[in-house]
Amino acid sequence: MKNLALIVALAGLLTACSGSDPGSSSSSSSSTGSSSSSSSSTGTSGTDVSSASSSTGTSGSGSSAGSSGSSGSAGGGCTAARAQLLGSVDAVSSGAVTALGDTSGVTTLYVDASAGGISGTGNNPWTFIDLGAGAKAQVTDVTSITSTAWDLALKRAVLYTNGGSGGPGQGGAALIAKDFDAVTAADATGVTFGTERFFDDQCNPRTDATGSVATTFSVPTDEAQYVYGWYTYDLSTNGLAPTPGTWLVRGAAGALYKLAIQTYYAEPDGSVGTGDGGTYAIKVKAL
């Protein structure tokens, strides 16, 4: 298939057990990429890159996230598979989540989801965020499965919501082609929110075009343009840049937010840095 060689190359870069991911060697936030692969217990992995489909927004063994089935639910029958796919670290992330400012209800967050860096991904937990509070939720990989105290989970280049396979909440997400400042609650009318579904009915991982776990943030996909969900990949810099548009995110309790990822390479003050990625600057506002 077209760009298969690129995807295989990305899969090699993103092997979760070695902790690497797309954009990890970049010194810029102006490009795109994909998230980690491998089915070891790392928190970001998937399987079967060779089965990815081209330029469709759905790929891998189950492709993009959709409505959850019985085995796809957070408390369903895929407990062991979930631990292997997403990790099961029973500790709260040490990564900082800091509100950098609040202007007219728009909060800018610095989120350290670097998970110990390239070599530490498999041993570090996800970072969970309470979007309403603009703060880190004090939950672990283990307790998140039954908690509605969080809305968004991040680890390196992978994000998911608290709904379906993600958690017991009402969470979901959808990308709309509109600038952040122009988005209102009315824009959610008629929008179909994706729901996390990490496994098929046989507990096989559902993966995206890069071999990573497929989430609501894995779409849209356009391999010809190197678009892999929330980010686009730049071959020249091995960097990730946010895909244009604004994310509508439904929180665990059903609250609606608009969200824009500004950079994957943020410094603690929100400026763009030159690190290995996994540190986000995110704008969020309740709708």
The length of the chain is: 287
Residue 268: CB atoms within 10 A of its CB come to: 13
Q: What's the distance, CA 82 to chain centroid?
A: 16
Rounded mean pLDDT of 214-222?
94
Phi, psi of 23 (to 5 degrees): 85, 0
DSSP for 201-256, written as a single string: TT-PBPB-TTSSBP-GGG-SEEGGGTEETTEEEETTTTEEEEPSSEEEEE-TTS-E
Could you tell me the sign of the dihedral formed by the alpha carbons of 113, 115, 117, 122, in that order? negative
Residue type for position 276:
D
For the cut 70, the answer to whether the pLDDT of residue 69 exceeds it is: no
Give CA–CA dist 97/280, Å, rounded. 9
pLDDT in tens, 129-162: 999 999 999 999 999 999 999 999 999 999 999 9
Give CA–CA dist 79/144, Å, rounded. 13
Nearest CA among 93, 67, 15 for reference residue 198 = 67
For the cut 70, the answer to whether the pLDDT of residue 173 exceeds it is: yes
Torsion (CA) 39, 54, 74, 217 in degrees, nearest 10: 110
Cα distances (Å, whole numbers) of residue 84 to 54, 121, 177:
27, 13, 35
For the record, the structure tokens of 140 come out as: 């672990």
pLDDT in tens, 20-55: 466 664 433 333 333 333 333 344 443 322 233 333
CB 243 within 8 A of CB 249: no
pLDDT at 76: 63
CB half-sphere exposure, 144, CA atoms < 13 A: 36
Structure confidence at residue 240 as a pLDDT band (50, 70, 90): very high
Give the pTM.
0.80
